[in-house]
């Protein structure tokens, strides 16, 4: 059993038992010492590995920081390089696009320099004069459209010795740019002193005189520089100083030798010159030449429309105004933004006046008043507001606009304001008020030179004639109207109006027919013709003319109101109400309109509504005759 039991134990049982027995036995001292030494060695190696790991990590961190710093330094070097390249490129670009004017120190005699009149001082005087010329030159033309535009970039160059950033920059501008360089000298002559100044390689006249004349000689030299470097601006300068003959010479040279854009603007300048001499027909011709040279230009189209309106060539003015409006909408890079901004509303207002849309004309004038002033545009717009309010029969609006004028010492401005008031009074049939302005206004226009004399003939004179006719001054009326041109459309109309005042119906119809033929797109001749027939008692004929006028000018209140009057006179007050209502949408503050509207309602038996219209009329402007009519109608309510 025991043998069989030993035989049945697992084979590993003896080894485990042996190990347990061995461990339970005391170690040999040598073995124990060996094991302890191995243990210490293992601990030291472990500690060393830990310390070495910390060192390696620190080293790696330093290497990474070093690499980062090296990368950052490289990036900084690249950035500095890019900045240098960008600075060089900017300097090259700036130099290549430099169109400024550089005035070098003049050569002067030592005795003048000793007195303080050094070459730099003389150059500064020239700079001051050129800057003054620029400040006095106001043009619709954009600076960028000039072939040689130095604008306000005028500087005096003081020579330096050695090499500097300034010298390098100056060299680049001279090499790549388009600077205009002015050199000059002052020297003594046997009889006094001489001044010369040249732009680039151009020759220069020599201006001589006494030393006491030195400032005047410098002025002449500066003016010569301005003419040779900025011919178109110089022409404007001459025009603004009323040196018209010299202005024409410069403009003709520009037209003969300039680029396409310069030639076109040269013709625009010639047109202004012609206007200054009262020749608006010649002015229109020059504007047409400018358009032919460069059809994209806006200003000559605008000016042509103004010329034809001044000439009272209404049909041409309507077409020209529409063309100018379309051109302004397309834009024109050769015009200054300020000037171009005024043309759109300005031309719309003019077209509105030509076709009787005075409410829109008033809105256009008020739009201009929100813009920066340009060459008196705000004054003109305020006068336009006065006239538009008058044409809308809005007395409160007219008074408010007239009260908005600021004090002005300029006699031409005051004269224009009086002309605007006169036209407003004439439109509203206040003939006594209109005539109060007339004698002095007419005399001033007649004696003020060619341009104002022209206005006395074609604008103010015809209305003066009509006012005189209504005042019973028929001889004066005929003398004034007979002096007007045969192609003046408003003159033809007022010929007819004066004939109607005299009850010469056939003659009036003849004049209105001529006016309608001359301006078939305008509603005015037809409206006047209809009013004449209404006063004659031909109500059907009047209505036919008012219908035509309304189709020509659908926003023109006058033919609608008069059409209503003709219907009332024809015992069709029921149909008249729609005409009065339509007229009121455009001219809501017209006293006579509400008076006649109330009359139509009264005849229809609608007394309460009639009272409302009569009450409205009583608060508005009425002529003396209409006030009497209102009083009589109120007695019937």
Note the pLDDT tens digit of each residue in 14-37.
Answer: 444 444 444 455 656 776 676 777
C-beta neighbour count of 115 within 10 angstroms: 11
Contact indicator for 308, 284 with CB cutoff of 8 Å: yes
Q: What is the DSSP string of 438-505?
A: HHHHHHHHHHS-HHHHHHIIIIIHHHHHHHHHHTT-HHHHHHHHTTS-TT-HHHHHHHHHHHHHTT-H
**Predicted local confidence at residue 26, as pLDDT:** 61
Average pLDDT over residues 604-621: 97
Q: What is the DSSP string of 34-73?
A: HHHHHHHHHHHHHHHHHHHHHHHHHHHHHHHHHHHHHHHH
- Beta-sheet pairing, 192-199 with 101-104: unpaired
Q: Summarize pLDDT for 336-351 with one digit per residue, the tens.
A: 888 999 999 999 999 9
Please list the residues that pair with 458 across neighbouring strands: none
Containing H/E element for 110?
Answer: helix 110-114
CA dist 180 → 102, 119, 134, 146, 310 (Å): 6, 18, 15, 14, 42
Q: How much of the chain, in percent, has pLDDT values that exceed 90?
A: 57
Average pLDDT over residues 344-371: 96
Cα–Cα distance between 308 and 317 in angstroms, integer? 5
CA dist 178 → 99, 378, 575 (Å): 5, 38, 74
Cα–Cα distance between 58 and 75 in angstroms, integer? 25
**Predicted local confidence at residue 558, as pLDDT:** 98
**Predicted local confidence at residue 172, as pLDDT:** 41
Residue bearing the bigger pLDDT, 24 or 333: 333
Least Cα distance to 465 among 479, 447, 444 occurs for: 479
What phi, psi does 193 have (nearest 5°)? -145, 155
What phi, psi does 136 have (nearest 5°)? -90, 0
CA 144 to chain centre: 16
Cα–Cα distance between 294 and 402 in angstroms, integer? 40
The chain-wide mean pLDDT, for the chain, equals 85
Going by the DSSP 8-state scheme, the letter that residue 22 receives in this structure is: H
- Residue 512 neighbours by CB under 8 Å, 6+ apart: 492, 493, 496, 525, 526, 528, 529, 532
Average pLDDT over residues 278-303: 96
Cα–Cα distance between 616 and 410 in angstroms, integer? 40
Q: Please state the pTM of the whole predicted model.
A: 0.77
Sign of CA dihedral 88, 92, 95, 98: negative
CA 533 to chain centre: 45
Average pLDDT over residues 448-469: 90
Residue bearing the bigger pLDDT, 153 or 461: 461
Least Cα distance to 585 among 359, 289, 342 occurs for: 359
Residue bearing the bigger pLDDT, 587 or 33: 587
Residue bearing the bigger pLDDT, 364 or 39: 364
Cα–Cα distance between 321 and 629 in angstroms, integer? 41
pLDDT range class, residue 160, cuts 50, 70, 90: very low
**Predicted local confidence at residue 10, as pLDDT:** 43
Cα–Cα distance between 359 and 345 in angstroms, integer? 13
* 506 pLDDT higher than 80: yes
Cα–Cα distance between 569 and 540 in angstroms, integer? 10
Q: Summarize pLDDT for 96-145 with one digit per residue, the tens.
A: 444 467 888 888 899 888 988 898 898 888 888 888 887 777 778 776 67
* 304 pLDDT higher than 80: yes
* 607 pLDDT higher than 70: yes
Least Cα distance to 339 among 298, 279, 393, 400 occurs for: 298
78-92, 205-219, 465-479: least confident range: 78-92
Containing H/E element for 423?
Answer: helix 411-427
pLDDT range class, residue 288, cuts 50, 70, 90: very high
Containing H/E element for 208?
Answer: strand 207-209
* 625 pLDDT higher than 80: yes
* 579 pLDDT higher than 60: yes
* 472 pLDDT higher than 90: yes
Q: Helices 299-310 and 260-276 sit at what angle, rounded to 10 degrees?
A: 20
Going by the DSSP 8-state scheme, the letter that residue 602 receives in this structure is: H
Q: What does the buried/exposed string (b/e) look like for 490-516 if buried means 16 or more CB atoms within 10 Å of the residue's CB?
A: bbbbbbbbbbbbeeebeebbebbebbb
**Predicted local confidence at residue 65, as pLDDT:** 66
Q: Summarize pLDDT for 488-501 with one digit per residue, the tens.
A: 999 999 999 999 99
Containing H/E element for 338?
Answer: helix 337-355
**Predicted local confidence at residue 22, as pLDDT:** 47
22-36, 504-518, 580-594: least confident range: 22-36
Please list the residues that pair with 102 across neighbouring strands: 155, 181
Exposed, middle or buried: residue 632 (CB in 10 Å: 0-12, 13-18, 19+)?
A: exposed
What angle (nearest 5°) sits at the alpha carbon of residue 14, between those of residues 9 and 19? 150
**Predicted local confidence at residue 69, as pLDDT:** 72
Least Cα distance to 557 among 391, 421, 361 occurs for: 391
pLDDT range class, residue 86, cuts 50, 70, 90: low
* 3 pLDDT higher than 70: no
Average pLDDT over residues 70-93: 63
What phi, psi does 473 have (nearest 5°)? -95, 70
**Predicted local confidence at residue 197, as pLDDT:** 86
Residues in the chain: 637
Contact indicator for 470, 501 with CB cutoff of 8 Å: yes
Going by the DSSP 8-state scheme, the letter that residue 211 receives in this structure is: G
pLDDT range class, residue 403, cuts 50, 70, 90: very high
């Amino acid at each position: 059993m025991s043998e069989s039991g030993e035989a049945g134990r697992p084979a590993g049982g003896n080894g485990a038992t042996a190990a347990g027995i061995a461990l339970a036995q005391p170690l040999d001292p040598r073995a124990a010492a060996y094991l302890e030494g191995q243990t210490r060695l293992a601990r030291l190696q472990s500690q060393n590995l830990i310390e070495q790991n910390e060192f390696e990590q620190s080293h790696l961190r330093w290497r990474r920081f070093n690499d980062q710093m090296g990368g950052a330094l490289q990036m900084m070097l690249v950035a500095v390089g890019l900045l240098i390249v960008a600075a060089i490129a900017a300097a090259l670009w700036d130099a290549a696009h430099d169109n400024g004017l550089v005035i070098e120190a003049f050569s002067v005699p030592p005795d003048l320099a000793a007195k303080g009149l050094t070459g730099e001082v003389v150059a500064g005087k020239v700079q001051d004069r050129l800057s003054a010329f620029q400040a006095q030159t106001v043009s619709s033309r954009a600076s960028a459209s000039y072939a040689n535009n130095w604008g306000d970039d005028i500087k005096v160059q003081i020579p330096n010795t050695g090499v500097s950033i300034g010298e390098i920059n100056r060299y680049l501008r001279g090499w790549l740019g388009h600077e205009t360089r002015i050199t000059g000298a002052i020297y003594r002559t046997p009889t006094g002193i001489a001044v010369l100044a040249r732009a680039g390689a151009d020759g220069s006249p020599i201006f001589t005189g006494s030393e006491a004349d030195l400032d005047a000689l410098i002025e002449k030299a500066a003016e010569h520089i301005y003419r040779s470097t900025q011919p178109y601006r110089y022409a404007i300068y001459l025009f603004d100083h009323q040196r018209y003959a010299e202005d024409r010479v410069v403009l003709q040279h520009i037209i003969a030798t300039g680029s396409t854009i310069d030639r076109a603007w040269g013709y625009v300048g010639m047109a202004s010159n012609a206007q200054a001499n009262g020749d608006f027909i010649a002015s229109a011709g020059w504007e047409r030449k400018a358009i032919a040279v460069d059809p994209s230009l806006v200003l000559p189209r605008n000016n042509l429309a103004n010329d034809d309106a001044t000439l009272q060539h209404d049909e041409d003015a309507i077409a020209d105004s529409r063309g100018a409006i379309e051109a302004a909408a397309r834009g024109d890079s050769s015009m200054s933004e300020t000037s171009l901004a005024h043309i759109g509303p300005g031309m719309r207002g003019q077209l509105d006046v030509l076709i009787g849309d005075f409410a829109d004309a008033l809105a256009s004038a008020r739009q201009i008043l929100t813009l920066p002033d340009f060459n008196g545009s705000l004054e003109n717009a305020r006068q336009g507001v006065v006239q538009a309010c008058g044409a809308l029969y809005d007395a409160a609006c007219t008074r408010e606009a007239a009260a908005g004028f600021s004090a002005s010492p300029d006699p031409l401005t005051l004269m224009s304001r009086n002309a605007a008031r006169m036209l407003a009074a004439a439109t509203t049939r206040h003939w006594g008020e209109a005539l109060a302005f007339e004698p002095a206004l007419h005399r001033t226009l007649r004696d003020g030179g060619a341009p104002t004399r022209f206005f006395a003939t074609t604008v103010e004179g015809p209305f003066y004639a009509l006012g005189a006719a209504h005042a019973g001054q028929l001889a004066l009326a005929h003398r004034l109207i007979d002096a007007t041109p045969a192609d003046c459309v408003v003159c033809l109309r007022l010929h007819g109006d004066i004939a109607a005042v005299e009850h010469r119906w056939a003659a009036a119809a003849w004049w209105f027919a001529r006016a309608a033929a001359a301006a078939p797109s305008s509603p005015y001749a037809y409206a006047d013709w209809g009013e004449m027939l209404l006063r004659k008692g031909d109500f059907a004929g009047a209505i036919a003319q008012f219908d035509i006028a309304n189709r020509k000018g659908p926003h023109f209140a006058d033919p609608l109101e008069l059409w209503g009057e003709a219907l009332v006179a024809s015992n069709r007050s029921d149909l008249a109400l729609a005409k009065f209502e339509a007229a009121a949408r455009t001219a809501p503050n017209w006293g006579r309109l509400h008076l006649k509207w109330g009359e139509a309602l009264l005849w229809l038996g609608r007394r309460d509504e009639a009272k409302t219209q009569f009450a409205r009329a009583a608060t508005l402007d009425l002529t003396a005759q209409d006030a009497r009519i209102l009083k009589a109608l109120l007695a019937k309510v």
